[in-house]
Amino acid sequence: MDRKTLIAIGLSLLVFVGWQKFYIEPRMPKPQATVATQVATMGAAGNAAPGAMTAPNTTTGSAVQPVSTKPVTVRSTEIATSTGPAYIGDAGKFFTDWKVSKYRTAVDPMAPVIDLASVTHGDDGSGELAFDLPDFAYLNNVQGTMTSNEKGALWSYEDANVKLSREYTYGAEKGFVGLVLNAEFKTKKPAYAFVSVSSRSHANDHEENDRQLLAYQGTSLERLHLGKVKTAEDLPGETKWIGAQSRYFLLALVPDMPGSRALGQHLGNEGDKHAKISLVFPVSGNSLRIPLKAYFGPKEMNALHAVEPSLDFTIDFGWFTFFAYPILRVMKWINAGVGNWGLSIILLTLLIKAITFPLTYKSTKSMKKIANLQPQMNALREKHKNDKEALNREMITFMKTQGYNPVAGCLPILIQMPVFFALYRVLYSSIELYQAPFFGWIHDLSLKDPLYITPVILTGVMWLQQKLTPSTATDPTQAKMLQYMPLFFGLMMLNLPAGLTIYMLVNAAASVAQQKYINKKLSVAPGATGPIVLPKEA
């Protein structure tokens, strides 16, 4: 990388970090008052404390009163899926647990496997069905009957007001659980049904920014930060699915028919990072049927596509998805041959450097040419220092006569920027790097270098690269900024994933080799600052 590239990347990273902050914040429409009122009602129904149920309005003397709403002891049944065992309970929640057998919470082989609690930090399981009538608040605390059948399992509950059932279909070869929710209303009929998942973030949660609630609406994915969800957040528009995610894992509920909208709701006390997201289904008659798929597992592209193609939007490649997908595919292809993700990153970096070398060479050549023209340009600045309009006119004429196009010098750098940031997102977001070892002290490429060795080496290599790159800086402030650029990059990489630091280190080392070659080809002495005579053909 030449100096101009370093400045461009440095400034772009500052913009990128700011964009990351605002991009990952929820981008939600303003709530509509009518729906917000219904959300508040739903909150009262869905989160009422045991015993706080409003008595149903029963008009027939023979009606049987609902069962007691005191806390129940949930009995769970284990079922098989291709991601790991799931557990379905006989109370109100769809699942009491779900384990992802292939992944653990830490590199230690004795560490617990990833489960629902490690991703959503939920209280007592995930997934629930609720209604907008407070009379039905008790239904999240009832205990039904679980039975097995030839298709899977059936949970059922009935009282004087309602008859509920959940039909489960599953198998060790299936990456999701089929779930059909049924309700029959005997006395009162609600206007809306809500299918919800919840999540929370604890203190010192290192995945706080990535632990989000999701709603896929139209062709875009809405991301809700747990600490930013209001009491009633309305997301109008047809909603294809909802979910709760951490950095690498996802719980998603995908109905056969989209919900009419999505609703976000803050849970707990003010300041708690605890919220739920709900699909909204209008109730048109005295019965309701909602078929859906439930997925819990890694955010791995093939696994997500097998459930619902749009689930791969949860792999956050940001604005550079167009470049990120082929980069990820090539990295997976390389790893299939070498069997080490760290080595795959190195080879991918070298491949990208080789592909972009013509652009780098062209950019460096352009920089050398502008350095050669600096004396004449400085003379023009001195001549027209009090007339900016004349200076701009003279500069344009001078550059045209010299055959220099400043845009052409910047274009190669601009082309490389999307590739750089796409690779950053791939290395940050890809489940393939989760707990993937490299060698020696780096046991997990998705975490920072525990000994900070690679960031320190990166700083040294970038300093060497800077010494080899001819300087074109005439402004003292710019020159001082260039001196501190290697330190800036080194500090920035201290807490970023080791996989990304390895990429930056290999990229810098390859840039040093490229710079030495370019300097030799263009007959440039390292650190030169004077006029440069370019070969006619390069």
- The pLDDT value recorded for residue 74 is 87
Mean pLDDT calculated for residue range 269-282:
90
Residue 531 has pLDDT above 70, yes or no: no
Give helix 476-492 / helix 453-468 axis angle, nearest 10°: 150
User: Which of 67-71, 285-289, 377-381, 482-486 is predicted with the least confidence, judged by mean pLDDT?
Assistant: 67-71
Q: How far apart are CA 196 and CA 209, in angstroms?
A: 21
* Interacting residues of 307 by C-beta distance below 8 A, sequence separation 6+: 175, 176, 252, 254, 293, 295
Query: In the predicted model, what is the mean pLDDT of the chain?
Result: 80
Q: Taking a C-beta distance cutoff of 8 angstroms, is the pair 239, 279 a contact?
A: yes
Per-residue confidence (pLDDT) for residue 355, from 0 to 100: 87
Residue 32 pLDDT > 50, yes or no?
no
Mean pLDDT of 279-293: 95
In which band, very low, low, confident or very high, does the pLDDT at 390 lie, cut at 50, 70 and 90?
Answer: confident
What percent of the chain has a predicted confidence (pLDDT) above 90? 41
Taking residues 220-230, what's their average pLDDT?
Answer: 89
What tens digit of pLDDT does each residue of 144-189 get?
999 988 789 999 999 999 999 999 999 999 999 999 999 999 999 9
Burial, 40: exposed, middle or buried (Cβ in 10 Å; 0-12, 13-18, 19+)? Answer: middle
Number of H helices, E strands in the chain: 12, 17
Top-confidence residue, 366 or 194: 194
Helical (H) or strand (E) element with 299: none
Closest CA to 92 of 195, 210, 206, 240: 195
* N-terminal to C-terminal alpha carbon distance within the chain: 18
- At 410, list the tokens: 């910047």
Under CATH, which number does the domain 25-54+75-315 receive?
Answer: 2.70.98.90
Q: Is the pLDDT of residue 40 over 50?
A: no
Among 59-63, 153-157, 191-195, 301-305, where is mean pLDDT lowest?
59-63
pLDDT at residue 396 tops 90:
no
Q: Average of pLDDT values for 13-35?
A: 43
Angle at 403 between CA 399 and CA 404, to 5 degrees: 55
Q: Is 216's pLDDT higher than 50? A: yes
Q: Which residue has the higher pLDDT, 133 or 516?
A: 133
Check whether 31 has a pLDDT greater than 90: no
pLDDT band, very low/low/confident/very high, at 60 (cuts 50, 70, 90): very low
Residue type for position 18: G
* Residue of 377 and 493 predicted with greater confidence: 493
For residues 69 and 141, the answer to whether their CB atoms sit within 8 Å is yes
- Structure confidence at residue 79 as a pLDDT band (50, 70, 90): very high
Question: What pLDDT does residue 45 have?
Answer: 39
Give pLDDT, residue 18. Answer: 54
pLDDT at 470: 57
Instruction: Tell me the pLDDT band of 50, cut-offs 50, 70 and 90.
Output: very low
The CA distance from 37 to 234, in Å, is 10
Judge residue 271's burial from the number of C-beta atoms within 10 Å of its C-beta, 0-12 exposed, 13-18 middle, 19 or more buried: exposed
* pLDDT at residue 530 greater than cutoff 90: no
How much is the pLDDT for 43?
40
* Of 304, 137, 303, 288, residue with least CA distance to 214: 304
For residue 364, give both structure tokens: 């460096």
* Every domain of the chain and the residues it spans: 3-17+321-521, 25-54+75-315
User: What average pLDDT does the segment 3-9 reach?
Assistant: 52
pTM: 0.76
Residue 277 has pLDDT above 60, yes or no: yes
Residue 5's pLDDT band (cuts 50, 70, 90): low
